[in-house]
Amino acid sequence: MSKKTKPFFSTTAEMVCLLRAKSFNEKREFYKSDDYVSVLISHSLNSFLSIMHKSFVLGFDGFNPMLPAGIYEYVVARTRYIDNLFSTLPAGTSHVFILGAGYDSRGFRFQETLKSCLVYECDHPDMQTHKRRLLENINIDYPANVKFVPIDFSNNSFDEWIKSLDLKPKNSCFFLLEGLTMYLSPQQMKSILHTVSQVAAGQCRLFFDYAYAEVIRGEYGGYNEAECIAEVRTVGEPWKFGIEKSALAEFLQPYRLAVVDEMTSRDIEHSQFTDQDGRCHGHVIDSVAWVLAQRINEAGL
């Protein structure tokens, strides 16, 4: 008898969902976001870790003994930033790809904005099955233009699948890799970027956040970097991929991608948590940054 394989499950995806739910219920202006679906999903999460975290994550405005300081602020800021990207998608965007979707709900929350798009949620088959079961339990019915695509990023199935789509130069695509890249191997990350660089569509925009390479190497020094790395290792999902500081543009160049907007932790604090008087209301972990990039075509951006 063959040994039964344990289903894949992402603890960090659970944690992000809980933090989004906490953010939705915030009274503090700079911590408030709009993912109401995460609140509904969070009530159905029943793993041992989620039950432990709920009592802390959803119960305190300040110090949380189960989570390194700066992670909550980062997730809140990232959620708000990406939600704004979805609400302001360039006219003509025809295909949206959400890679490593986890408990992402934008296909439902932004269905009016996305009604003229084909939206693909790409994630591990086990994770996707679990999510769809939760959505059924809370009566969340995604619109017909949102497709669930089981993808295992440990092989070339994403590249093979996207080549099967009938993408044309007239199509404009947006790729979202939220909280994904640091959990990929360097080869997996490069494979995804190579695929994006080769798709037949015309305009291609891409958002992803990433860890710094020195943090992956264990060279800590920034705000709660060591604590953050320890946390993801503890739950069995260690970070594997990073980009050297100040080397983002160089890293993207072989994939014909140019930086449209780049934010370090200090940039995030300034744009998301700083009031008109210059007072900062939230500090973000130093180990991560994010980028909005656009593919360079023959005629330029």
At residue 1 the predicted structure's pLDDT band, cuts being 50, 70 and 90, is very low
pLDDT top residue among 153 and 148:
148
In a domain, 39, yes or no: no
Give the CATH number for residue 165. Answer: 3.40.50.150
Of the candidate ranges 68-72, 114-118, 220-224, the one whose mean pLDDT is the lowest: 220-224
In a domain, 7, yes or no: no
pLDDT tens digit string along 55-65?
A: 655 655 555 65
Over pLDDT 90: what percentage of the chain? 73
Residue type, 172: S
In a domain, 99, yes or no: yes
In a domain, 228, yes or no: yes
In a domain, 25, yes or no: no
Q: For the chain, percent helix, then strand, then coil, each to nearest 5?
A: 40, 20, 40
In a domain, 216, yes or no: yes
Contact 23, 32 (CB under 8 A): yes
Q: Which of 62, 64, 23, 71 is nearest to 284 (CA)?
A: 71
In a domain, 15, yes or no: no
Predicted model pTM: 0.93
The predicted pLDDT at position 50 comes to 65
Q: Which domain holds residue 104?
A: 69-295
How many structural domains is the chain composed of? 1
In a domain, 238, yes or no: yes
Q: Which of 73, 85, 80 is nearest to 206 (CA)?
A: 85
Residue type, 69: A
